[in-house]
Every structure is written in C-alpha cells, then in structure tokens.
Structure 1
C-alpha cells in the first residue's frame, strides 16, 4: 500500500473526498496524467520489483488476492509473470487502467472460503487501525496462504524512523499500529496459524529514508 499512494494521500490530507473525486483527479488532470504519473509508476515499480523477487518463491498456486492493492505495481508485475491477480482496496489508487481493484468496506472480503491460493498484505495491516485483526482473519478465510510484509521495529528509535518514513511516503500524519516481530508472531500463534517463513531486513527508500520490514508467510495448521 505504501508505493504510489502519494497523490491519493495528498487529496485526503487536504480535505475528505469521495472515490470519484480521487479517480477524477488522477484521470482528468492533464499535467498529472502526462508528466507526473510516469514518475509515480517508475518509483512504484522500482519498489515492487524488489518485493516481487522476495515473495515470488513463497507464492502458492496462481490465484493471488492483493489486499490493499494501492498503486497496483506488485500485481502488475505478478500478472506479467503469469499469475492471476485480483486486487481489492478501500479506494481506487491504481496507476494501471487495466488493473482496477474491487472497492470494499475494509472489513468483509466478498469472496468464498479458500477462493485464492495466496493472499498478499503488503504494508497494509498497520493502516487498518481497530480493524487490523478482522482484516487479517478475513484474509486467511479466503486464502490458503498469506504473505505479509509489515513495517517492524526493535526499539523506540527505530520505531520513530519507521513511522517517519511511512508517514511521509503515504502523507498520513497520524498514529499507525506498528508491531514488533515478537508481537506479530504471538498474534499468529494465538490464532493457531503456522509461520512457514519469516525474515527481517533494514533498507533505505528511494527518498533516502531508513526503514525496517519483515515478511511472514502464514498458513493455517492442518
């Protein structure tokens, strides 16, 4: 959700607008369409290409649900590689005309149980506030496996840097519910889920800002 959302978040910061307003802003402003949008696409795909290389080996099957589609760059690159992706989000922030998300209420996924082989929650859960747990459980209901990437931290200073990068990148200057790796692991264990794989790393964004992220590959215990 982080990549490519700048234009949407700027709109939300200035004043509350409808989904139609956001779409109109993206599609009707000639300056944005012809000069700025290619830059957003390039930045988004630069970030997504590294992410796809990371998650690709843990994708199970070909049917992928991208929860919190955002710019759509992750799904776009996966589609090129032959995956059948479906995006869903609370607002349409896709930079790709042929890759449009289903718009939903942010809680109830309109799909049947185990409809998708793999579900993606890429930098999404810390944006969900009080709905964080329900989003997570709904994702597991409709997917056989989840690949989660989250901003994590090991100490207060690292949390500060993680929060600054996330807030600036998304233009969302309010509290986000970040967790430590241990907190996420305990949550998954409490739900009775199995952690197939986990890895943490620190990185520098394209804007030179420090962050730390963790990938979790999760399944229900059989």
Structure 2
C-alpha cells in the first residue's frame, strides 16, 4: 500500500485527494484505492494527505472542510463558490452566514469585488471632500465586509481608517419618502446612499418622531 500511496501523491491538490477526480484521471488506481481505502487513507494521513470521498454526498461537517481546501486552499472566494459549487454554498448557508461558517472552519474569505485595506484607504481619500466621505452602494458593501471582519460597524471602521462618513440628510430623506412618496429604491438613486442604509435610518427617525418631519402638522410647510 505504500507504493499506492506514493502514486496518489501526484493527484493531491492542496493536501487533498479527491476520489471523484481520481476516478476520472486514473481509473485503475482509483479501483485499487477503493478496495483498500482504509489502509491507503491511513498511510496518506501519516504524510499529511487526506482523501475525500466526493463520489457520494460530502456535505457534512467531516468532509466540507477538506472539499473546500481541495478547490481553494486556505482562501475561499465566496463569489466563485456560489456559482461553481452551489451545493457547498447551500450547505454553508444552512449553517448561518456562509462567510462566518468559512472563517470558523479556518479559511480566509474573499469576494470578486473585495478590496484590500490599502485600496479602501486610497478610495476613501479620493472621495474625501471637506473632511467627509460620501458612500455609494459599491463602496458601502466593500466597507461592510472589512468592518465585519473586525467586528465593527461601518462608521466606526471608517473612523479607524482616519475618515468621516458624510451623514444622511434626514430632512431630505423624510421629504422624499413621506411627501413625495418615493420608494427607497428611488431615494437611493437620488441620494446615492445604499437602500438598506436609508431604510434603517428612516425606521429609526420614525421611532424617534422624526427630525423636522415634513408630515407632522405645522412642520415642513413649503
């Protein structure tokens, strides 16, 4: 079995051997391994190599980490995972937020649109006007990802980077929503602020009674 284990090493990827891929690449070796799986697995394990049986359902706590390691190494691109390995993404989603589960499994997580912190600082600096930075949806999502890694909200994270976020114009938000009757989607396009941010701010203003709420009697008259 030592000879078989040695042959398997060239089929290892990121320290993992996939039985499904082995079957496609070397059917004879695959049959030998399958008939002596426990012994071969033990021999490989002593050399730091794991075998995953991905011929059947592998979406379970014992094999999901090895499966992801095989395809991604130590850094999982969550955008790619969602499209290239939907079953794995679905499994992670059932366990909660996929990126949180991946981090618990020991992986670094990136997205196709992920910026490094250095790139974020440069972007914030380029948008810094009069000491304030205005966020659009794209930048908001990038900041949200980085802030969540540090356990911070976006405003605190941006302050940590040395900048201040331009505050939402509460009066304009209330006017567009309550007087003009616009949707949050329409307001987001007008104010260039993420829709989810506007919705949260609007709900908070309503709970607090509004700030110069144009719908309150005697206020906001045009």
TM-score by length of 1: 0.27
Structure in which a larger fraction of residues adopt strand: 1
Structure in which a larger fraction of residues adopt helix: 2
Larger radius of gyration: 2
Q: Which has the higher contact order (CA 8 A, sep 6+)?
A: 1
